[in-house]
Amino acid sequence: MRAINNQSLLVQLVQGAAVALGSLLALSAQAAAPGITGPAFALSAAATRISQPNGKSVYAWGYGCSATPAGYAPALNVTPACPAAQLPGPTLIVTEGQLVTVTLTNNLPAAVGNTSILFPGFTVTTGGTGTPGVLTQEAPNAATCLTAGCNTVTYTFTATTPGTHSYYSGTQGDLQVEMGMYGALIVLPSTPPTACDGGIAAQNVAAKAQSGEGDYRLAHAAYDHPASCYDREYLFQFSEMDDNVHTQAEQQVLADQAKATGCTSPTGCLVVATEPYVPGYFLVNGRSMPDDMDPNYAPQYPSQPYNGNPHMHPGELTLVRIIGQGRWQHPFHEHANHVRVLARDGNMLTSGANGTGALAGPLMFTTTTTPGMTMDGIFYWTGKGLNWDVFGHAAGILNQDPNSSTFKTVDVCIPDANGYYTGWNPADGSYNVAVASAPNYFEWCGDHTKALEKNPTGQVASGGPMTLPDPNIVKNGSWYAGSPYLGGEATGRAVGATPIPPAGTVANSPSSEAGYAYMWHSHNEREITTDNVFPGGMMMMMLVDPRAFAIDETN
């Protein structure tokens, strides 16, 4: 999918739809992977309801908090919440080497019976008043307890492996996991490499500060490895849902609750057919598109607190944490670049033993999420190789000189040793911090001033790789596809009688994001629908904006 202007995104999604999705994208906030901090967690398992974009309310089960968490991370400018049940469960954030304790209280309906949690990849010991299960110690249902508080079990393990991990029910997994009983565990490295505190990593942090952005990373690196530094991070948990299974479970629970004497069996009293399995809902962090692009902790989704709304600047290393939480594989495609896989299931893919040596993970066109598997990868976008100046520079146009408070007739793109405009002087390893505030920070200088159009109708320069149509004869107004240049100030560089984009359109506002929107979505086309209606399901947008636009990660 080619780069398009954010404000006109809907044209690319569905022609003629009457939803101002472009405005939604501009107003939505982004955030790093939100969760609760440990190392001690008090979780509950309970019933809840989740909403879908088609207006349907679906009965579900989930993990939540049975007590106020020790804290929330990252520290956002929003009031976070951890209800008694949510989907997915709370993201548990700990540090490598910590002794983690999770106390689970079973508050599910009596007809469900026992429940539990598995922590794959860790050596777990159990305690409390639980009862042995097939895979792990289970928390009895309160209906089968003889004493108060006997519906709990405690799991203890050492967070030995950094990276992204999953947790999920180990009891009647075909039903309980389908109903929503799963979540993420993020283990931060205990000794992040010092390389992540200097060089280009530090310069990117300086660039954030120059535009007034905060630093919402959980850590400076994903692993104890110098090649795992990152600038932003997002967590994506992919799952699917067959609402027929959920309807059966709800009806049988209600029928049991209507009895004078309800279920008292440890294995529960539900007889729910989980096959044939025909999911109609495909979820990213418990939400479907476009709901997944609303802010984290949005009040309209009390049991679905996490969004899926990535956002970045050119040159940033974006860490994507991916978990397959359902029964199906999901071939998720991140448009605009491949993803360099760092690790699977918390194990770094390197040329040496025990996570040492150079990175050896593949570049993935599609990050297929196998059920139960986790993946950490780096997504990177710079505009390199597009074969035109994505910032719309042209000789003689007034551009801001980062070393001066005035505008000068200059074209500033001094390549560093890697060819990017970062202010790095390879001779002495120093950085010109002033460059971090330049609108074209991290521009690929090899394409600087290179024209986009071969036969322009009035736009910047000529001789480029393509010919754009005259904007007077294509879709105008708020539906216009927008500027091919990155940044609000780039629209002012268009010249001639018919500039790109046309004057007076929503897309022509220099104060707007004026970035590129890339569709991130499942390559299984059915999975980008909600109950067979497009667009929906496993779809989101990666928004790439210039440094001049401050990305809001406060919620």
Q: 150 or 109, which is more confident?
A: 109
The pLDDT tens digits for 226-282 are: 899 999 999 999 999 999 999 999 999 999 999 999 999 999 999 999 999 999 999
Q: State whether CATH 3.60.15.10 applies to domain 1-33+194-555.
A: no
Per-residue pLDDT at 25:
43
Residue 328 token pair: 């199906």
Pairing of strands 311-312, 152-158: unpaired
CA distance 327 to 304: 20
CA distance 30 to 554: 7
The domain spans of the chain are 1-33+194-555, 35-190
The pLDDT tens digits for 200-215 are: 888 888 888 888 888 8
* Same fold flag, 1-33+194-555 and 35-190: yes
Taking alpha carbons only, the member of 343, 345, 321, 342 closest to residue 332 is: 321
Question: 35-190 — its CATH code?
Answer: 2.60.40.420
pTM: 0.90
With a cut of 80, say whether residue 309 has pLDDT above it.
yes
What are the b/e assignments for 153-185, b being 16+ CB within 10 Å? bbbbbbbebbbbbbbbbbbbbebbbbbbbbbbb
The HSE-up count of residue 484 (CA atoms within 13 Å, CB side) is 24
**Could you give the 3-state DSSP secondary structure of residue 250?**
helix
For the chain, the average pLDDT equals: 85
For residue 213, give the amino acid letter. Answer: E
Count other Cβ atoms within 10 Å, centred on residue 194.
10
Count other Cβ atoms within 10 Å, centred on residue 327.
17
Q: What share of the chain in percent tops pLDDT 90?
A: 60
Per-residue pLDDT at 465:
80
Per-residue pLDDT at 156:
98
The pLDDT tens digits for 474-504 are: 655 444 556 678 876 666 665 555 555 555 5
* Three-class SS of 170-224: CCCHHHHCCCCCEEEEEEECCCCCHHHHCHHHHHHHHHHHHCCCCCCCCCCECCC
Phi, psi of 22 (to 5 degrees): -60, -45
Which residues make Cβ contacts (< 8 Å) with residue 16, sequence separation at least 6?
A: none
With a cut of 50, say whether residue 216 has pLDDT above it.
yes
Per-residue pLDDT at 405:
53
With a cut of 80, say whether residue 385 has pLDDT above it.
yes
Burial (0-12, 13-18, 19+ Cβ within 10 Å), 55:
exposed
